[in-house]
Amino acid sequence: MKLAFIVDPLNEFKIYKDTSFAMMREAAARGCELYTLHQEDIFWCKHRVAGNAARLHLTGDKHAWYRSDVAVETDLAAFDAVIMRKDPPFDMEYVYSTYLLEMAEAHGARVFNRPRAIRDHNEKMAIARYAQFTAPTVVTRLEKVLRDFLAEHGDVIFKPLDGMGGSSIFRVRKEDPNVSVIIETLTQLGTRTIMAQRYLPEIVDGDKRVLLIGGKPVPYCLARIPKAGETRGNLAAGGTGVARELTARDREIAETLAPLLHAQGLLLVGLDVIGTCLTEINVTSPTCFQEITQQTQCNVAGLFMDAVEAELI
């Protein structure tokens, strides 16, 4: 198979933990030809979508881990699969990329996750479709609504709808003297919509990343445990990842959502679960493959490649 990965710059990869690298390594072990593109390499011209794709060779070295051939203009439909792994933020350039990839699909390209499905699932807002599993939540840019929510629950989380890695997430208590400036900053004086959720004290036991692949849950999750004095479990914010078997509640959430999300074109999804509550649905570039594999011997990248191969039959 010829696989094209749309990724961030390769020289920025931390291959000891990078999920895209784990996918590439597994694909190479199965004899696949690997190619990489950056978001800006994709274009529409002469009624087809193409990209400047470079053949990628994995060296096995921990430092100089790859070698790339000169990029060649290639129709995206010429690849057996295109794997969209560009990290957020989900800005307008990302949206434009989904438009291009959707046009590529119309000409025969197989894209995972499907671009329309990525576009339709804001990673914060998508939980509203499954409100039976969520903590109390509001989405608004109105200061009064946010203040009323804070007054009702006393201890809440405010976060932007387009953040990643725990950036710009605030825990706010009713008596916090900085409430006004936090709301003003996050909403940009009432011009940007944000999310508020009731604070979940179970975060001390970890913000669990539950992976769904090909419409089925991976049997292990990664609990990202906040460092001392921190309310965010994100690994990018200093959290520690501990692999665990899914709890009964984790499995209930995962088994309910997995077939529904897969049917919409989402081959790989990362659910975030704190305690018994679903907090986010990650569809752009879900991670944690390597941490789970290293701690449990469950080959998550292998499960992903099995799912890709099954889609292409």
Q: Which of 74, 88, 90 is CA-nearest to residue 36? A: 74
Quick one: pLDDT band at residue 272, thresholds 50, 70, 90? Answer: very high
Q: Does residue 167 register a pLDDT over 90? A: no
Domains and CATH numbers, the chain: 2-119 (3.40.50.20), 136-199 (3.30.1490.20), 202-299 (3.30.470.20)
Q: Does residue 237 register a pLDDT over 90? A: no
Averaged pLDDT score across all residues of the chain: 96
When pLDDT is averaged across residues 259-284 and rounded to a whole number, the result is 98
When pLDDT is averaged across residues 172-199 and rounded to a whole number, the result is 97
Q: Positive or negative CA dihedral for 196, 150, 172, 197?
A: negative
Quick one: pLDDT band at residue 122, thresholds 50, 70, 90? Answer: very high
- The DSSP string of 106-165 is HTT--EES-HHHHHH--TTGGGGGGGGGBPSEEEES-HHHHHHHHHHHSEEEEEESS--T
Output Rg (C-alpha) for the chain, integer angstroms. Answer: 20
Q: Does residue 229 register a pLDDT over 80? A: no
Q: Which residue has the higher pLDDT, 233 or 180?
A: 180
User: How does pLDDT run across 77-98, given as a tens digit for each residue?
Assistant: 999 999 999 998 899 999 999 9
Catalytic center residues: 124, 159, 209, 224, 232, 272, 280, 282
User: How does pLDDT run across 288-305, given as a tens digit for each residue?
Assistant: 999 999 999 999 999 999
- Percentage of residues in the chain having pLDDT higher than 90: 93
Q: Which of 177, 237, 174 is CA-nearest to residue 203? A: 237
When pLDDT is averaged across residues 305-309 and rounded to a whole number, the result is 98
- Give the Å distances, CA to CA, from 266 to 79, 162, 263, 270, 308: 19, 19, 7, 10, 11
What pLDDT score does 166 carry? 76
Q: Does residue 119 register a pLDDT over 90? A: yes
